[in-house]
Amino acid sequence: MMKKLIMLLTICMMCLLAVSASAAEKNDEAPPINWEISMMPKPTAEEIEAARWSIVLENTMGVYAYDMDSLYFPEEKNGVVNKDLVNVIVKTVFTDKELLKKMNKTYAEKLAKKEKVQYCEMLMQFNVADKTYGVKQMDVYGSKGTKLETKINNGELIPVPEKTFAEAMLEICLQAVNNTSEN
């Protein structure tokens, strides 16, 4: 009788273990509870996009900014990084009314209804040793986010003119080079 009772208890324990293991597997599939607590509302896509850019210069033509996370040193074919060359994505939001009129006429066929030319993004390359720069690619956008044109250049570098946006960007690129040299 005692053997039957021990055997019955053993079978019951195995069944309980199997049921609890099955329940644990089902709980693993459920999404975890989001315990994130914040007094601040989550930023919108527009706010995240705006935070990406750091304003460098403003003049009569527009507002110039660069993408802080876009600074990088391009790799050459043999895998070596050339720290004299720095690539960066920059943005110009046009404010000059005459320039905007001309650009709206130029891109009139590509603009959606009630859309106007708003900004351009450029991939620029700076040679900090030679103090030269070039625009590798330029994309022009409308106010509704429509890409109006893409221009790709051969990458020819020209001297950086004084007191320009290019000179301000050269200084930022020099700081990036100095910061990576220290690390």
Q: Are strands 85-94 and 62-67 parallel, antiparallel or unpaired?
A: antiparallel
Q: Is the pTM higher than 0.75?
A: no
Pairwise CA distance, residues 81 & 72, whole Å: 10
| Residue 163 confidence (pLDDT) above 60 | yes
Q: What is the pLDDT of residue 176?
A: 83
Contact criterion met (CB below 8 Å) for 145 and 94: no
Which residue carries 């040679």 as its tokens?
127
> Which listed CATH number (2.40.128.710, 2.40.10.10, 2.40.50.1020, 2.40.50.100) goes with 43-177?
2.40.128.710
Residue 76 has pLDDT above 80, yes or no: no
Handedness of CA 102, 107, 113, 119 (dihedral sign): negative
On whether the CB atoms of residues 68 and 48 are closer than 8 A, the answer is no
Token couple for 65: 């900014």
List pLDDT tens digits, range 135-155.
999 999 999 988 999 999 887
